[in-house]
Amino acid sequence: MTDKIKMTTPLVEMDGDEMTRILWKYIKDILILPYVDLKSEYYDLGLVHRNETDDQVTLDSAEATKKYGVAVKCATITPNAARMPEYNLKKMWKSPNGTIRSILDGTVFRTPILVNGVTPYIPTWTKPITIARHAYGDVYKNTEMKVMGGCKAELVVTDKDGNESRQLIHDFDTDGVIQGLHNIDKSIAGFARACFNYGLDLKQDVWFATKDTISKIYDHRFKDIFQEIFDNEYKEKFAQAGIEYFYTLIDDAVARVIRSNGGYIWACKNYDGDVMSDMVSTAYGSLAMMTSVLVSPDGIYEYEAAHGTVQRHYYKHLKGEETSTNSVATIFAWSGALRKRGELDNIPELIKYADNLEKATIDTIEDGIMTGDLYLISKLENKKKVNSEEFLHAINERLQKLM
């Protein structure tokens, strides 16, 4: 073994909770620290420490991410009523992911990790489909009311001088409902830039779809903003990278996605992204094999696994029972963050290490060594279920040979 790989800029490291916190330490000890002279600025986002710092640590970690540009995050508990007595909480702290997303103003990209032996429910999906979900507005910030028969509902917009413009929504003969939605040009533009930047990063086409034939002003605004930004800022870069931006109607997009082989980024409005990401991730087979990266419009990256803290496995672990928890998405969060650090700081060894770590992980599973979740669905003939730690040692055996 040669010298450890040196880093120049710190990686922002956000530790988390429960079973994923246990995996976090295993991954560092077994797969990272033996190879990389890790330079990280550590933030403990575990619920105990968030509670101690009145959640200041979450804000600090997001500010550090802005400063350094790349973060890796462990899954964290979003407290609910049951967590209040469990952790003796001062407050039902907000979701750290929500807090970080709003500070970085980012878009979340979710990508499945494909392995031989686990066939997607759509067998033609031989390459991953990355879903990019716009994380602001529409039905998630709606205003809605019941309306009684005999009422007239109108849209009223008042300008800063108090002048009103009105449009009839509906004259209700009988009872019904109404809903008011909004979005903001700046947020749509940030979403568009994040998608185009990510397409350039991955060298993959970007697809975007809305219902602009029906929603001729609202959805059309999304379509126009994407097109303007693409034409003015990205057209040449896309041509150089040999990739395309492609807009179509959402109905057409859905049909094309099913017929496709994958290998592109599908940008979705907030609701479409919510629904379609559940469909796509289920179709690829396992939540434990889904990575997630938050990308801000100015090119800041935060990598994590798409799953939660795997609470049920943690309680088994606390009772001293053996666990077989899949660490793949968390490993890929680390490899993604280290690779990005390598790209930004021009450290080819770090990029190579990240590639090797991913290859060793996939090779392990394709050699038939896997955790319980994959053991249940893998079609490999000679497969073996291992525990959480054995899985990481099996990856390291392969990583050692690659390094």
State the residues that interact with ligand NAP by CB under 6 A.
75-78, 97, 287-288, 304, 307-312, 325-326, 373
Q: Which does 77 bind (CB under 5 to 8 A by kind): Mg ion, ligand NAP, none?
A: ligand NAP
At closest approach, how far in Å is the CB of 169 from ligand NAP?
Answer: 37
At closest approach, how far in Å is the CB of 275 from Mg ion?
Answer: 7
Q: Which does 309 bind (CB under 5 to 8 A by kind): ligand NAP, Mg ion, none?
A: ligand NAP
Contact 156, 164 (CB under 8 A): yes
Q: How far apart are CA 37 and CA 3, in angstroms?
A: 9
Q: How far apart are CA 382 and CA 394, in angstroms?
A: 16
Q: Which does 58 bind (CB under 5 to 8 A by kind): Mg ion, ligand NAP, none?
A: none
Q: How far apart are CA 95 and CA 79, in angstroms?
A: 7
In terms of CB distance, is 210 or 286 closer to ligand NAP?
A: 286
The stretch near Mg ion (CB under 5 A) out of 168-176, 278-286, 351-359, 368-376 is: 278-286
Q: How far apart are CA 102 and CA 178, in angstroms?
A: 28
Exposure letters 149-173 (e unless 16+ CB within 10 A, then b):
eeeeeeeeeeeeeeeeeeeeeeebe
In terms of CB distance, is 116 or 282 closer to Mg ion?
A: 282
At closest approach, how far in Å is the CB of 78 from ligand NAP?
Answer: 4
* Backbone angles phi and psi of 116, in degrees to 5: -60, 135
Q: How far apart are CA 301 and CA 338, in angstroms?
A: 11
In terms of CB distance, is 77 or 129 closer to ligand NAP?
A: 77
CA distances from 16 to 23, 36, 260, 331, 358 (A): 10, 21, 37, 14, 22
9's tokens: 């800029």
In terms of CB distance, is 202 or 287 closer to ligand NAP?
A: 287
Instruction: Please tell me whether residue 205 binds Mg ion under the rule CB under 5 A.
Output: no
In terms of Cβ atoms closer than 10 Å to its own Cβ (0-12, 13-18, 19+), residue 27 is: buried
At closest approach, how far in Å is the CB of 150 from ligand NAP?
Answer: 45
Residues 136 to 175 in contact with Mg ion, rule: CB under 5 A: none
Q: How far apart are CA 340 and CA 301, in angstroms?
A: 8
Exposure letters 328-357 (e unless 16+ CB within 10 A, then b):
bbbbbbbbbbbbbbbeeeebebbbebbebb
In terms of CB distance, is 55 or 212 closer to ligand NAP?
A: 55
Q: How far apart are CA 131 and CA 273, in angstroms?
A: 7
In terms of CB distance, is 135 or 347 closer to Mg ion?
A: 135
At closest approach, how far in Å is the CB of 307 from Mg ion?
Answer: 13
Q: Which does 67 bind (CB under 5 to 8 A by kind): ligand NAP, Mg ion, none?
A: none
The stretch near Mg ion (CB under 5 A) out of 24-32, 277-285, 333-341, 387-395 is: 277-285
Q: Which does 274 bind (CB under 5 to 8 A by kind): Mg ion, ligand NAP, none?
A: Mg ion
Beta bridge partner(s), residue 107: 295
In terms of CB distance, is 279 or 402 closer to Mg ion?
A: 279
One residue of 60, 63, 205, 274 binding Mg ion per CB under 5 A: 274
What SS3 state is found at 13? Answer: strand
Q: Which does 97 bind (CB under 5 to 8 A by kind): Mg ion, ligand NAP, none?
A: ligand NAP
What SS3 state is found at 156? Answer: strand
Q: Which does 51 bind (CB under 5 to 8 A by kind): ligand NAP, Mg ion, none?
A: none
In terms of CB distance, is 133 or 398 closer to Mg ion?
A: 133
Binding site for Mg ion (CB under 5 A): 274, 278
